[in-house]
Chain A
Amino acid sequence: MVVRSPMPGTIISVNVKVGDSVKAGDVLLILESMKIKNEIKAPQDGKISEVLVTEGQYVKRRETLVDIEG
């Protein structure tokens, strides 16, 4: 399942790496938009299969951030 950016902004921290196991609600990364820090959480339990962004990267709305294998 892919996790997409809910809004444009800058990734200020990536808390997971490929292979990590996550539970629904775990914070995957933090996206800053208009001076607001937003926690992007895992929508389901699973294993991180791909991380497509890095810290400092600007992302557009609906851009894929992380892929979780459920």
Chain B
Amino acid sequence: MLERILDFFSFTGFAHLYWGNAVMLLVGGLLIYLAIRKHYEPLLLLPIGFGVILTNLPITGLLVTGSEIELGGLLYYLGLGVKLAIFPPIIFLGIGALTDFTPLLVNPKTFFLGAAAQIGIFATVFGALALGFSLPEAGSIGIIGGADGPTAIYTAALLAPHLLGPVAVAAYSYMAMVPIIQPPIMRLLTSKRERAIVMEESRCVSRLELILFPIVVTILVVLLLPKAAPLIGMLMFGNLLRESGVVERLARTAGGALINIVTIFLCVCVGSMMGAEAVLNVKVLELFALGIFAFGFGTAGGVLIGKLMCWLTGGKVNPLIGAAGVSALPMAARVVHVEGQRANPENFLLQHAMGPNVAGVIGSAAVAGLFISFLT
């Protein structure tokens, strides 16, 4: 009888569970806790957390590689959307359909802030190389500093697929933790007087400009960096759907149902890449440390260029908006707004911060294209 019970036990997941799985189950639980209790980007962290739990339950076969002869696991097939770099451009299509580029067109100089915040990416590449990562690995880690989940996944899938899971989780975790990571850096580098600066609106943007913007950006950026075409192309196509005003149904689907469906699959798959064996090692811990350095450095770079712009314009630019250059749309812009209001309750920086924020999305996608062109 006892033998039969032991026999049955050996067929259950309990018999195959080891300490690494237990640690990762706790990590999954923590992500779900942060999503539900703390409201840290629940749309991302909840499915990622559940994916972590699913993948750390032993002998489920969810990730078994499929072949012509044998059927693979569910998460293997869903994960192809990540590994083949299909999901990130679709997410970008939706982001484009949801993004209003007006703040960037109203104040085109904020484009420099979006570009400045990308210096964190380059600084981290050197840091990763110094720690012994290869050039493609360093590029995949550095791109975390762009604070753009789909871009990080896209880059890692093409440059260093074995780092895809940790890179994706680091990028999404840091995006979710924007309200914790950024404010201390912003306060350290600015005075209260600078943070209190109220920015004026400069001009109105015509409908023609809004329609031409995605077309012109696509042509210019893709001619310059052809490998950025999937991300930039889809981002701008989504935006054209929105701004054209004649395909509202398509714009609504791209920015609604489609992006929601793909976000569910993408995030569960990202979580499923966090198996204990893949994550619990020193190299991955280094990657996480480098990722947060990249993010912090990008924030600092944006704020410092913001300060320079503040000085050059005679105090008309609030340097805080530079922090929004690290993509993380629209979380970084929200943080800028909140910090601005802390210094001056009459300060509404949200729209002004959206300029560098959307520029940051374009900037990090362009850097991804640069890395894919030169680091492979």
Contact = CB atoms under 8 A, between A and B. Distances in A.
Contact of B351 (A39, A41, A61): A61
B337 to A, nearest CB: 6
A44 to B, nearest CB: 13
Contacts of A38: 348
Nearest to B204: A62
B243 to A, nearest CB: 15
B346 A41 contact: yes
A35 B348 CA distance: 14
Nearest to A43: B346
A34 B350 contact: yes
B351 A7 contact: yes
A11 B325 CA distance: 28
B351 A36 contact: no
A41 B146 CA distance: 36
Describe A's contact surface by its main secondary structure: loop
Contacts of A36: 334, 337-338, 350
A7 B350 contact: yes
B314 to A, nearest CB: 22
A64 B306 CA distance: 31
Interface residues of A, number: 12
A56 interface: no
A49 to B, nearest CB: 22
Interface string A6-33: 1110000000000000000000000001
A35 B39 CA distance: 12
B330 A34 contact: yes
Contact of A34 (B201, B334, B345): B334
Interface in B308-338: 330, 333-334, 337-338
Interface in B158-213: 201
A35 B334 contact: yes
Interface string B340-376: 0000011010110000000000000000000000000
6 contacts: A7-B348, A33-B350, A34-B350, A35-B334, A36-B334, A62-B201
Interface of A: 6-8, 33-36, 38-39, 41, 61-62
Given A7-B350, A34-B350, A36-B338, 19 more contacts: A6-B348, A6-B351, A7-B348, A7-B351, A8-B100, A8-B351, A33-B350, A34-B330, A34-B333, A34-B334, A35-B334, A36-B334, A36-B337, A36-B350, A38-B348, A39-B345, A41-B346, A61-B351, A62-B201
